[in-house]
């Protein structure tokens, strides 16, 4: 059986997708990281997990003089900042470089004390690992032997080489090829030449793709890599929002003009944090995000961060956020009273009880469960108080991500996810000098000169590797779209010239794509009276359209005849938006059950049905949070009603009918069945106003639609004030409506402005009428 090794899980999924139509058995497919892990045999020792390793490192550092490395004697700070030390020690180990070589380097002669401390830290860490029977990267090479029982399961191992290979990984590959045939699949270019040359392969030529049997030292086949011949478009912008518009334009062009399928399009984000802005404009859910989503914006993270900040700084902004997040007062009290206490089993359990209800998905709950397990492990070995516990908890959450399950076809990815992938259209935004190539923080303790002299990978090696990834991505693409923002300190990446042979030009900033995301609206003032030859009686009328007509004929003309949509203000919620959300929540609640007897169950069901995922307006989201509190009184009133034997008979009941020669239509919010089999008709209202507009005939429409049978009462249910307002004069209102319907049989109508200005105050069309 053959083992095929790919750089990433995404590359494996792509291989399976490409081969699913073929009638053949798949070989065993794994990632290169998985292969290296399975190829290692450490006998009776155990691999150490990350949290335990940090505990050992803390103990290894804790000696007189260690502060010369720039760390304070605080476990929390060392936990968050000591990665520099660990990365350096791991790199020395995996590249097989003796730390004593640093003493021979003249560039480091002024830092002999630093080297001595680093050497002591390493020795202390190795002693602890050896004593407890643990293995980490820092001591893996000296504890390793090849796991032949794994390797011998396969007759051949085929490896796709894309990334950097450490000296230790090359050692494993060489050991495997002594046991079974190993075939390496790789590209050989000026950018990855130095990395491939470490494998000591023979007769390689630049800019070729190779299939190379490393066991027999034979080239199985090779072909010339094509040059970058793609259609390349490079645009300049002055904001990231405009770049997002260009991304959407590029996708449209690729799909509709170049006939490229969406799944063959990749959007590369050198700055992955830009994904959160891209998501705001992904209203059609066209994207999938290869790197998932961070947890920083989750209610869990924001709640704990707000509690921590509230203890440090109790300003009004923190108080507002505290209310917005609906933070449990008991949770806040627990943190305040335990902030300086040493964590024990009891405190940890209490913290868990508060935290887990804030996890809105199983995936997040699993992540939190793992983080708490790690923190419990730490607190069993080192005394930390709740203050430090929270800092570490937030830090560990900040580096976690949750999977994207939106299922869009266009892939949004970072550069590393592109390894061994091919796309017909490639879109790269933020192609700026400060982001491409990405500057990694791995040279803090040892600079590039020292690394070069002792044989460690340098920033130049990493830059070349990134150039290689872009080179392969562009070589395989048919169309390339690149954008960058041009400001005083920012310009196009040097990779534009290095990889694309592109000469920088003084591009004009592009503005024309902005209309893809938002349209700049213009208004025409219409001041004159408008008279139309029209018979209004042939229209179908809803109570709301009738109310508009009776209140302002010109507004009716704009909204219902000319069908001019209300202008959108992204900063101001529409008047009906909250009402629609609450109506839908109540509809979904009472479709599940037509009566409730438990106050908590009813409240939680309503809140659960309030969907805010697709709401972009932050003020609407804030209003919804306030409404959740108002609903508690509404729920109490509902429970009382249900206990009195009232049940909901119909919810959002649609009707179309003809009365007095006029077609009417609408939707009744709710019909309640009373114990004596009579009904109450209810219309929800969410306005602060308790007085209903005299031109509102909504309940009269409902009365007619139900054929006036078995109706005990007609009510406006004002949820804002939790009041039922009964319509008392139904016969008078019916007589009025009959007269109005007769007046709708017209031959000509003058659509005048309303006489008073009070109706214009919140009208969406007041600008057109010059009444703003």
More confident residue, 391 or 614: 391
How many whole angstroms separate alpha carbon 62 and alpha carbon 72?
10
How many whole angstroms separate alpha carbon 712 and alpha carbon 689?
25
Q: Looking at 660-731, which runs of residues are DSSP E strands?
A: 662-673, 679-685, 711-718, 723-726
- CA-based radius of gyration for the chain: 34
- Cα–Cα distances in angstroms (integers) from residue 502 to residues 228, 247, 491, 497, in the given order: 11, 20, 13, 4
Whether residue 684 has pLDDT greater than 60: yes
From 152-156, 391-395, 574-578, the region with the lowest mean pLDDT: 574-578
SS3 315: coil
- Average pLDDT of the chain is 87
Tokens coding 546:
């009738």
Whether residue 189 has pLDDT greater than 80: yes
SS3 372: helix
The string of pLDDT tens digits covering residues 140-174 is 999 999 999 999 999 999 999 998 999 999 999 99
Could you say which DSSP state residue 743 is in? Answer: H
Q: What is the pLDDT of residue 619?
A: 60
Q: Which numeric CATH code is attached to 555-560+566-751?
A: 3.90.320
Tokens coding 441:
């923080």
Tokens coding 155:
């007759």
Q: What is the pLDDT of residue 756?
A: 75
Under the banding of pLDDT at 50, 70 and 90, the label for residue 382 is confident
Peptide bond into 437 cis (omega under 30): yes
| Long-range contacts, stretch 560-568, CB < 8 angstroms, 24+ apart | 561/532, 561/534, 564/765, 564/768, 566/764, 566/765, 567/521, 567/764, 567/767
Whether residue 571 has pLDDT greater than 50: no
Options 3.30.1330.10, 3.65.10.10, 3.40.50.300, 3.30.70.1290; which CATH number does 231-292+405-434+481-516 get? 3.40.50.300
- 254 C-beta neighbours (distance < 10 Å), count: 24
More confident residue, 459 or 611: 459
Q: What is the pLDDT of residue 631?
A: 92
Q: What is the pLDDT of residue 692?
A: 79
Under the banding of pLDDT at 50, 70 and 90, the label for residue 415 is very high
SS3 137: helix
How many whole angstroms separate alpha carbon 418 and alpha carbon 7?
10
- Cα–Cα distances in angstroms (integers) from residue 492 to residues 228, 272, 274, in the given order: 19, 18, 17
- 609 C-beta neighbours (distance < 10 Å), count: 18
The string of pLDDT tens digits covering residues 728-752 is 889 999 999 999 999 999 999 998 8
Please report where in the chains the tokens 């592009």 appear, as a residue. Answer: 510
- Mean local confidence (pLDDT), 122-148: 96
> Which alpha helices (DSSP H) does 181-289 contain, by range?
193-197, 240-252, 275-280
Which range in 194-198, 441-445, 708-712 is most confidently predicted, on average pLDDT?
A: 194-198
| Residues 392 and 246: beta-carbon distance below 8 Å | no
- Mean local confidence (pLDDT), 123-129: 95
Q: What is the pLDDT of residue 570?
A: 44
Q: Pairing mode, if any, of strands 156-160 and 181-188?
A: parallel
> Which alpha helices (DSSP H) does 156-266 contain, by range?
167-176, 193-197, 240-252
The string of pLDDT tens digits covering residues 11-20 is 999 888 888 7
More confident residue, 147 or 379: 147
The string of pLDDT tens digits covering residues 262-281 is 999 999 999 988 888 888 88
Whether residue 708 has pLDDT greater than 90: no
More confident residue, 102 or 561: 561
The string of pLDDT tens digits covering residues 22-49 is 767 789 999 999 999 999 999 999 999 8
Considering the chain, what percentage of its residues have pLDDT values greater than 90? 54
């Amino acid at each position: 059986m053959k083992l095929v090794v790919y750089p990433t899980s995404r590359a494996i999924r792509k291989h399976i997708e490409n081969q699913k139509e073929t009638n053949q058995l798949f070989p065993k497919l794994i990632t290169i990281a998985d292969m290296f892990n399975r190829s290692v045999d450490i006998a009776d020792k155990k691999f150490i997990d990350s949290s335990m390793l940090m505990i050992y490192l803390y103990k290894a550092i804790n000696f007189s003089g260690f502060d010369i490395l720039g760390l304070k004697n605080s476990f929390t700070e060392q936990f968050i900042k000591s990665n520099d030390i660990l990365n350096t020690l791991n790199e020395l180990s995996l590249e097989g470089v003796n730390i004593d070589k640093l003493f021979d380097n003249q560039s480091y002669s002024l830092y002999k004390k630093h080297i001595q401390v680093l050497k002591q830290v390493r020795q202390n860490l190795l002693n602890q690992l050896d004593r407890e029977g643990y293995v980490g990267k820092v001591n893996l090479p000296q504890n390793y032997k090849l796991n032949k029982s794994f390797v011998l399961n396969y007759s051949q191992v085929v490896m796709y080489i894309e990334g950097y290979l450490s000296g230790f990984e090359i050692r494993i590959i060489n050991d495997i090829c002594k046991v079974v045939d190993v075939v390496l699949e790789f590209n050989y270019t000026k950018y990855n030449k130095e990395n491939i040359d470490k494998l000591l392969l023979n007769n390689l030529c630049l800019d070729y793709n190779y299939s190379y049997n490393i066991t027999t030292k034979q080239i199985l086949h090779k072909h010339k890599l094509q040059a970058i011949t793609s259609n390349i478009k490079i645009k300049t912008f002055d904001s990231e929002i405009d770049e997002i518009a260009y991304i959407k334009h590029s996708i449209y062009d690729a799909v509709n003009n170049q006939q490229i399928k969406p799944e063959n399009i990749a959007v590369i984000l050198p700055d992955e944090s830009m994904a959160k802005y891209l998501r705001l404009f992904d209203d059609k859910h066209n994207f999938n995000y290869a790197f998932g989503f961070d947890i920083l914006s989750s209610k869990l993270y924001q709640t704990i961060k707000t509690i921590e900040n509230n203890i440090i700084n109790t300003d009004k902004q923190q108080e507002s956020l505290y209310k917005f997040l609906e933070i449990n007062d008991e949770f806040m009290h627990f943190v305040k009273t335990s902030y300086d206490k040493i964590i024990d089993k009891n405190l940890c359990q209490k913290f868990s009880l508060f935290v887990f209800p804030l996890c809105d998905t199983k995936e997040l709950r699993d992540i939190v469960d793992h983080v708490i397990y790690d923190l419990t492990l730490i607190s069993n070995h080192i005394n930390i108080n709740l203050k430090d516990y929270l800092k570490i908890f937030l830090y560990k959450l900040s580096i976690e991500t949750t999977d994207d399950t939106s299922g869009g076809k266009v892939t949004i990815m970072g550069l590393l996810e592109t390894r061994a992938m091919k796309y017909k259209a490639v879109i790269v935004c933020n192609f700026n000098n400060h982001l491409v190539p990405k500057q990694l923080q791995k040279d803090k303790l040892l600079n590039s000169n020292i690394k070069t002299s002792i044989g460690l990978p340098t920033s130049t090696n990493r830059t070349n590797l990134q150039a290689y990834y872009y080179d392969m991505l562009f070589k395989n693409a048919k169309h390339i779209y690149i954008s960058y923002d041009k400001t005083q300190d920012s310009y196009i990446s040097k990779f534009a010239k290095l990889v694309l042979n592109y000469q920088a030009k003084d591009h004009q900033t592009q503005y024309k794509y902005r209309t893809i995301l938002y349209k700049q609206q213009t208004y025409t003032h219409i001041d004159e009276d408008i008279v139309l030859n029209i018979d209004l009686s042939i229209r179908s009328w809803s109570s709301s359209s009738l109310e508009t007509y009776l209140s302002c004929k010109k507004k009716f003309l704009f909204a219902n005849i000319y069908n001019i949509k209300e202008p959108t203000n992204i900063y101001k919620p529409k008047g009906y938006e909250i009402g629609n959300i609450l109506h839908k929540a109540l509809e979904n609640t009472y479709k599940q059950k037509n009566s409730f007897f438990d106050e908590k169950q009813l409240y939680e069901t309503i809140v659960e049905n309030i969907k805010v995922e697709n709401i972009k307006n932050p003020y609407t989201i804030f209003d919804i949070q306030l409404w959740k509190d108002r609903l508690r009184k509404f729920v109490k009133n509902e429970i009382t009603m249900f206990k009195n034997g009232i049940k909901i008979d119909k919810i959002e009941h649609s009707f179309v009918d003809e009365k007095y020669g006029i077609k009417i239509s609408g939707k009744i919010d709710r019909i309640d069945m009373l114990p004596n089999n009579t009904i109450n008709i209810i219309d929800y209202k969410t306005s602060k106003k308790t007085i209903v507009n005299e031109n509102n005939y909504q309940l009269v429409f409902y009365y007619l639609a139900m054929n006036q049978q078995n109706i005990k009462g007609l009510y406006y249910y004002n949820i804002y004030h939790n009041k039922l307002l009964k319509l008392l004069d139904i016969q008078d209102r019916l007589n009025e409506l009959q007269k109005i319907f007769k007046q709708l049989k017209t031959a000509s109508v003058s659509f005048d402005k309303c006489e008073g200005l009070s109706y214009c105050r919140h009208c969406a069309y007041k600008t057109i009428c010059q009444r703003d």
